[in-house]
Structure 1
């Protein structure tokens, strides 16, 4: 058995990184004081271990680089305790919070510090944050990077909340001039209003098609053309990133930009890869998000982009709200005006999914040839690189944080309410059958979630979580992001 200064974790199946050809037996030694890996031995050694995972698969902890926690200010939508519980239950060891939907938006150093203080003592996984770019806040950007912001997000269209207005090209240029000083990464919500708005839909507003008609792929294509132009202008000093790509029709633009060597990266989301618009029921506003979920042909082309590397990684874009803002039939009329129930055009847009992405992408991905190496690359390594955390997160190696997802890729599950730990349980994935069960989540050597501790008699999962929040706020100085490559 290990000394009290070290925790030893062993399994017959360990994937240290995406470069490993197959799972192998390893024994991992963790310094309890630092939470860092100090030694990795080949071989399975249950007689030495504090944590014996047997035949369960251990891989690097998942880094979800796109989560809306909404705290402070809108914790009735989500809060750090429930968001980090949900993350932990899904094998996610690090989440990076978005700068909007909280009040105040994270657009100044003071707001960043307020968020950090608000999260204190409520994090079951490690948490960092993106800052935001809005009109006029460019003088705040470098100080925010120095205070630990991982980079910045902006909108090229209405964000949906008045605290976070969009920016135009002139404002982008001011912001990118500041970011150039520190090589700060800029994330774009890549939709733009078109000079000629789309014609009114012939569908009823309770039919998903009405919403899909209102946000055509051309909105994304137009915005991505601007992103690429700005990326080229400021290359290589301001890496640019497209969040939640929905329109596969923009992939040729993206591929050409990467071939050119521009520092451009792209993410898509679990919902765009696992849902198609044809399957969305009437009034099911839990499916509404911006940009929208498109048809199955589009979905298959996104999968092609994921598998060929045109799309760098996959995130949740967990963006919840209360059911009344979704105008959802489940409210039973509470908080919903007459005639607005199930109205896709008026409902809040955002999909709740933090902590349930691993079984979703594994289930759909296997049908298309996705392998364990791809899972690690898409959910751990590239998301850690995007958040400038490769010095700590994304792989299992000596000197890295001992963050691990322990799961059974073979085991089937059903996503039921007792397995959903975010605050508002309204999600398009309820009762979905999947493959891949998360069994333990380890953050810097600490078990923060253990599925085996579920109360079998009552079904309660309260005991599955560590008694104390063992996550930490990530305030590491921003890591230089310059690369001259077509792919992360």
Structure 2
């Protein structure tokens, strides 16, 4: 690989130069290479201006250069987490732009893409998108892209949202848990596909759907809430798991594929795939030429139902975390030829701790803001649109329910910024047992390069290459540490990953040539004291 220069150094002003004996670079053919590297960055343009595939010494550069040798730590492209719920405006006691993007930056994530639901209003109209953009101003520690939502009756908003700069669209085939984002029917999906069929976008689906009664678990499906009637202790994880069987996912995937003929060029995508039974269905569809991919999540790769304690609702998410055998098969898929799973994301979906209904021995002391905005949380049956006193009484009644009830607790796992250590640690453990696992190069491909491509940002994000945004993560793969509450930079310090020991930690994060996070630094490591992230609103072209 030859050295290359985008702009003369003199036109860029003083350079920032990061070097290491190990960096993962993107070559002209989009393949990835682990190599020594000297990466020169312009803090003025925010771009990578040159890369040399060796470690050049400090005296190779003018005295005004900021030079840092990070050897033997890894220089990686900043991660692109293409599935994050930031919940602002409207549900800012759950999460917000400031806290969610701080957590991302601390984990080497330089771009997040915000989901269209859980904020009020949702991003299902251009006006809703504008409200979200206004709320994000001056708050983001990393760059933030946005998805639009597909709900019944908003097909006329989809093309205007494309023009406004959303990175893709998401719809639910099952109750989303929030009233302002209802599930779509086959008619709604068909209309969305035909509307978007000639646009460079991605149409994504939460692929769970209650099958016909003849294909389900029995007649109890007729009166189930939610969504199959539980048969067992509500604090038992197995009871919850049985209520959302793999058939929910396979039926939804088959429904989507049955309509794909309406938009043969449109990129279809299954979010947070959990059930391995979907894999052969997707593989056959891809062999027939259907343009469909899938993602999975850190929690499906790091947790298994076999080891989830009853009552530990920190693990509740939908689709659910499944068996160890299921997890093993997901890992096998990651290294398969032409894998259906192209990306790995966090699906960071937080809430306030009281909505998790944790048993007393798992609950941390929380400071409740009595002045927080009222809201509705339909999953758990609380009407938070009531007047304040009535809302407080409803919340009190809600939190006095049996703790550890998987059916009443909010579903979602908090993990934005933890992806690198989760994947690196779990892969190392599996490798030690003789399993074939993704390398650090593969992890970069699935968490940076492919996620950037999924949202139409591969021209600027997800790669260490001349001309790209200088989004760089410094990762120490030898650093062993245990996640404690103070390490969680998101708003509510509640996560099933607490107490886990990881190998590998992000030590620095650079966003467009600016050092935004340094582990152990002042201000909890956040450089400069104020956010420099931007809202990504450029119209998607690929």
Unaligned 5+ segments in structure 1 are: 455-460, 481-488
The normalised TM-score by structure 2 is 0.84
Cα deviation, 1:264-312, whole Å, max 9, x if unaligned, reads 0100000001000011112110100000000000111111111212211
Cα deviation, 1:407-462, whole Å, max 9, x if unaligned, reads 111221211112110011110000101111100001111111001416xxxxxx62
Q: CA deviation at 1:232?
A: 3.2
Match of 2:19 among 10, 27, 31: 10
* Equivalent position of 1:458 in the other structure: none
Find the residue that maps to 1:93 and give its secondary structure.
strand
Counterpart-to-counterpart distance in 1, 2:263 and 2:33: 40
Aligned residues: 473
* Equivalent position of 2:112 in the other structure: 95
Counterpart-to-counterpart distance in 2, 1:248 and 1:51: 47
Find the residue that maps to 1:23 and give its secondary structure.
strand
Unaligned 5+ segments in structure 2 are: 1-8, 221-228, 367-394
Q: Does 1:314 align with 2:344?
A: yes
Find the residue that maps to 2:320 and give its secondary structure.
coil
* Equivalent position of 1:231 in the other structure: 260
* Equivalent position of 2:74 in the other structure: 57
* Equivalent position of 1:210 in the other structure: 239
Q: CA deviation at 1:161?
A: 0.1
The normalised TM-score by structure 1 is 0.93
Q: CA RMSD in A?
A: 1.9
Counterpart-to-counterpart distance in 1, 2:173 and 2:212: 14
Counterpart-to-counterpart distance in 2, 1:207 and 1:443: 43
* Equivalent position of 1:135 in the other structure: 152
Counterpart-to-counterpart distance in 2, 1:22 and 1:38: 18
User: Is contact 1:306-1:313 (8 Å) kept?
Assistant: no
Find the residue that maps to 1:244 and give its secondary structure.
coil
* Equivalent position of 2:488 in the other structure: 420
The 5-angstrom pairing of residues 287-436 of structure 1 reads 287-308=315-336, 309-329=339-359, 330=363, 335=396, 336-366=398-428, 367=430, 368=435, 369-436=437-504
Greater shift after overlay, 199-208 or 180-189? Answer: 199-208
Greater shift after overlay, 24-33 or 263-272? Answer: 24-33
Find the residue that maps to 1:325 and give its secondary structure.
helix
* Equivalent position of 1:474 in the other structure: 536
Q: Does 1:119 align with 2:136?
A: yes
Counterpart-to-counterpart distance in 1, 2:478 and 2:501: 13
User: Is contact 1:449-1:466 (8 Å) kept?
Assistant: no
Match of 1:222 among 251, 257, 262: 251
Find the residue that maps to 1:440 and give its secondary structure.
strand
* Equivalent position of 2:96 in the other structure: 79
User: Is contact 2:194-2:262 (8 Å) kept?
Assistant: no
Q: CA deviation at 1:257?
A: 1.0
User: Is contact 1:452-1:464 (8 Å) kept?
Assistant: no
Find the residue that maps to 2:353 and give its secondary structure.
coil
* Equivalent position of 1:442 in the other structure: 510
The structure whose Rg is larger is 2
* Equivalent position of 1:30 in the other structure: 41
* Equivalent position of 1:258 in the other structure: 286
User: Is contact 1:36-1:401 (8 Å) kept?
Assistant: yes
Counterpart-to-counterpart distance in 1, 2:204 and 2:441: 26
Cα deviation, 1:221-248, whole Å, max 9, x if unaligned, reads 0000011122233111x21000000000
CA pair 121-192 structure 1, distance change in 2 beyond 3 A: same
Counterpart-to-counterpart distance in 2, 1:278 and 1:90: 28
